Amino acid sequence: MRAPLLICCRTITLVSLTGAVMALAQTPEATPTYRVGLKSVAIPPPSSDLPETGSDYRVLLELMAPNQNRLIAAFLIPDELKALTTSKTSTSFTRYALAETSRRGEFATMTPELFKQVTDSMGQQFGATMNSTLKDQEDEANRKLKVYNASAPKVTLDQPYMLGKLFSKPNASGFGMIMQGTANGNSKRMAVGVSIVRVQERVLYLYLFNSSDDEESIRWIRAATENWVNAVLKANQ
């Protein structure tokens, strides 16, 4: 499936985001639910330092989702969300997470058998698909940035380094990679965890980003990606 693989643009796109509003959304204490294909799906934050932005400011991150996906929830470090919503200059995030669903398949019933086929195919084609669609992702990222900011610098994406499959469960699979891109002469590398999760017969795509690619960051991505998936599965039991 191509939808969960179109993530290269998120690595550098955030470098060029600017905001214009002046206040932060409040984060509810209870695990929030989001509507996905006529279902109310619970999505807890991936870590204690990444609360969900709230609906008022989530719209600022909609350009991070590829055209065929719909952004459900976005999780940012509070100080970095504040910078996004108040700064008139470019904003770069050190750690963040996105939850999405496929527009085309949002209302489809995902059986265990079909989900296994999807995750098996994703695992086999993950690296090859990322490489083959890199130019398309780069073009899409630049088109979206121009809509948001006509003077945004061009984004150039490098080939990702695949970390392979991080884990596999009956209702979830996770994969990892190192992404790199350049905008306005500034390069940025990020460790990325990508998960496909089946909850309430619907499919979620979860993306977790960490702006460092050192050994500790990669260990964090491996652990935090699986922990987030486990929390989502438990919240929807």
Residue 79 lies in a domain: yes
What per-residue confidence (pLDDT) applies to 89? 62
| Number of neighbours of residue 162 by Cβ within 10 angstroms | 15
What per-residue confidence (pLDDT) applies to 170? 95
**CA-CA distance, 175 to 190, in Å (whole number)?**
14
Residue 22 lies in a domain: no
Write down the H helix ranges in 35-111: 55-58, 78-86
Residue 23 lies in a domain: no
Residue 58 has pLDDT above 70, yes or no: yes
Instruction: Give me the torsion for CA of 140, 193, 51, 204, rounded to 10°.
Output: 70
Which structural domain, as residue segments, surrounds residue 107? 3-17+31-235
SS3 98: strand
Q: Assess contact for 68 and 2: CB atoms under 8 A.
A: yes
Residue 26 lies in a domain: no
Residue 120 lies in a domain: yes
Here the tokens at position 8 are 């290269």
Kindly report, residue by residue over 116-136, the tens digit of the pLDDT: 998 888 777 665 555 557 778
Q: Assess contact for 5 and 74: CB atoms under 8 A.
A: no
Q: How far is CA 28 from CA 45, 99, 102, in A?
A: 11, 17, 26
Kindly report, residue by residue over 66-99, the tens digit of the pLDDT: 889 999 999 999 999 999 888 766 667 899 999 9
Q: Is the dihedral of CA 140, 188, 77, 214 positive or negative?
A: positive
Name the domain count of the chain: 1
Residue 8 has pLDDT above 80, yes or no: no
Here the tokens at position 176 are 């990892």
| Number of neighbours of residue 50 by Cβ within 10 angstroms | 21
